[in-house]
Amino acid sequence: MRKTVLFICVHNSARSQIAEGLINALYSDRFEAVSGGTTATRVHPAAIKAMAEIGIDISGHTSKSIDVFEGRRFDYVVMVCDDKQADCPFFPGGKEQIHHAFDDPAACGGTDEEVLACFRKSRDEIRAWIEDMFVRGVLELAVDKFRFRFPVDLFYSDAGVWVRFEGSRARIGLSDFTQQRNGDVAFAEPKEPGTQVKRGNEVGVVETIKVNLSLPSPVGGKVVEVNGDLLNSPELVNQDPYGKGWLAVLEVEDAGTARNALMTAAEFMAQAKAQAEAEVLR
């Protein structure tokens, strides 16, 4: 069954229309997308032209208010406008709420060609994000000058440790948010293989240029493998936190129960967003 996606912005004229067109043209085997806004206006001619340049026809799209979707449920509701705008809409009928703000190309001034250049840029940025989010499955959060990534196939603890379940085993590491927040890693040492740890107890230590971290284990189980590359290359935790920078693998007794105690990428991203914005305001 295809997943349903509602893209929303203020006027349903540019960004949300482009996103709807991209999803339905490129990934209609997996997703069905619609879009709406605070008020119905028009589909911007430059949006139609920019999409036509890559072979996608949205000339038949119409601008709609999100009111027309009242009572419907969607797998994903994606807000593409700035949530600090007073008129940026919110739609409650989403199993998962996602926010990713894109600059409004309709706000560009200048000649027709200069405006079209803004729409091309927006089109390409939205397409790259859709590929990350819905094809490769990565959420992205921008706060101030920082950009954090959250793969959706992983689970996350309150302490910012990610978990990838591999059958009865759980591979763990520091999330991109956690490693950026704490600085360059100088030393990383998980517990030795064979060590039994309870959820919440220390599973390893990480020393950065800012702080020494005692990492609470996101799952209970026995350490069966550690990343030996970190002994000589602890910087892998910063360079590739979800890949070569993994910390350890634990054998868990009940993966289902362990999974239920953790956060999804969207839930952890919401927590990270609140923490990052609070720190920026200090």
User: 125 and 180: one domain?
Assistant: no
* 8, part of any domain: yes
Residues 114 and 166 in one domain: no
* 161 pLDDT above the threshold of 80: yes
Which phi and psi (to 5°) does residue 276 adopt?
-65, -40
pLDDT digits (tens, 9 = 90+) for 70-82: 999 999 999 998 7
Calpha distance 13→36 (Å, rounded): 9
* Total-model pTM: 0.57
Alpha carbons 123 and 119: distance in angstroms, whole number = 6
Give the domain CATH number at 266: 2.40.50.100
* Residue 78, domain member (yes or no): yes
Contact 251, 224 (CB under 8 A): yes
Using the structure block, give the residue that is written with the tokens 């998962």.
96
Q: Residue 282 and residue 279: Cα distance in Å, rounded? A: 5
pLDDT score of 277 more than 80: yes
Range of the domain at 85: 3-136
Instruction: Say how far residue 250 (Cα) sits from the centre of its chain.
Output: 25
Same domain, 115 and 158: no
Q: What is the pLDDT of residues 220-265, one digit of tens each?
A: 999 999 999 999 999 999 998 988 899 999 999 888 899 999 999 9
Query: Do 17 and 128 have their domain in common?
Result: yes
Same domain, 275 and 166: yes
Give DSSP secondary structure letters for 91-140.
---EEEEEE-----GGG--SSHHHHHHHHHHHHHHHHHHHIIIIII-EEE
The residues annotated with a catalytic role in the active site are: 9, 81, 88
Residues 116 and 219 reside in one and the same domain = no
Q: Can you tell me the distance from the alpha carbon of 69 to that of 195, in angstroms, rounded to the nearest whole number?
A: 53
Contact 75, 97 (CB under 8 A): no
Show the CA angle centred on residue 224, arms to residues 158 and 205, nearest 5°.
45
Indicate if 106 and 23 belong to the same structural domain.
yes
Write down the mean pLDDT value for the chain.
92
